């Protein structure tokens, strides 16, 4: 049983997945951030791989990625940083990013290196279903990596079922069709959330985009197994010289 599956076996309500950008706020702060998240209550870590053209990311996460790239973060540097990280981090960790840099690195080499350091799964929003089914899914399974697909309010019922069937780990429900960090009226999406609730899904469901505080986390968790927070946490890191203390304060505000 993989770490993500094990997590949902132990805890299937109010699972908190926190997004952070590798190499932000400083090149070598990746593990420090991950350790602070684990120690202060994050159930899962979504580690963003910075990219110059991140289609789904809002201004805050884009800016953090640009800083990380200027700091010198690359996929090779990231895997070097992550070597041996499982001695410290026991929380499930996914890599989130885009196909272009992964393809430049080499898809199978990327999966091999991710698995060898102890990564649990991937989120690549621009990997199409057809390519997944006919080429890349086989490689992901070869290296034991979970793969998470995203659904939106515009995704048809048949497609939701298909994406759920193909996903492993969990299914990512985007709260609205916009980039991360935009103010979302979550109650306005209640019909969409209820629709997802009524479908018999194979995977646990996490809601992302617009989750930023205790109220929005609790609301999203009322329809799903938990939620994903990114932009609000990146903002907390932007203003700090003490990663551990700022992470503690941020997570206490959501979980306590």
What residues are annotated to the active site? Answer: 46, 57
Q: How many CA atoms does the CB half-sphere of 6 hold within 13 Å?
A: 9
Does an H or E element contain 228, and which?
A: strand 226-229
The CA–CA distances, whole Å, from 89 to 33, 93, 107 equal: 11, 9, 25
Degrees to nearest 5, angle at CA 116 with 114 and 121: 40
* Cα(41)–Cα(247) distance, integer angstroms: 10
Cis upstream peptide for 25 (omega within 30°): yes
* Cα(202)–Cα(224) distance, integer angstroms: 13
* Cα(15)–Cα(205) distance, integer angstroms: 10
């Amino acid at each position: 049983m993989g770490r993500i599956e094990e997590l949902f076996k132990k805890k299937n309500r109010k699972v908190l997945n926190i997004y952070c950008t590798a190499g932000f706020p400083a090149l070598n702060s990746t593990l420090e951030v991950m350790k602070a998240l684990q120690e202060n209550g994050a159930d899962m870590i979504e580690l963003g791989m910075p990219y110059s053209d991140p289609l789904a990311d809002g201004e805050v996460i884009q800016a953090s990625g640009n800083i990380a790239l200027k700091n010198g973060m690359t996929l090779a540097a990231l895997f070097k940083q992550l070597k041996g990280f499982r001695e410290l981090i026991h929380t499930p960790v996914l890599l989130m990013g885009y196909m272009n840099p992964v393809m430049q690195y080499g898809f199978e080499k990327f999966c091999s290196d991710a698995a060898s350091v102890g990564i649990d799964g991937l989120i690549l929003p621009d990997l199409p279903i057809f390519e997944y089914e006919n080429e890349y899914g086989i490689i992901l399974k070869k290296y034991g990596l979970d793969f998470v697909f995203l659904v939106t309010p515009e995704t048809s019922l048949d497609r939701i079922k298909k994406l759920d069937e193909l996903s492993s780990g969990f299914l990512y429900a985007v709260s609205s069709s916009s980039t991360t960090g935009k103010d979302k009226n979550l109650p306005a999406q209640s019909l969409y959330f209820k629709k997802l609730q009524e479908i018999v899904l194979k995977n646990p469901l996490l809601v992302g985009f617009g989750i930023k505080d205790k109220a929005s986390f609790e609301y999203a968790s009322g329809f799903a197994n938990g939620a994903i927070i990114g932009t609000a946490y990146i903002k907390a890191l932007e203003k700090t010289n003490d990663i551990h203390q700022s992470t503690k304060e941020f997570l206490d505000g959501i979980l306590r």
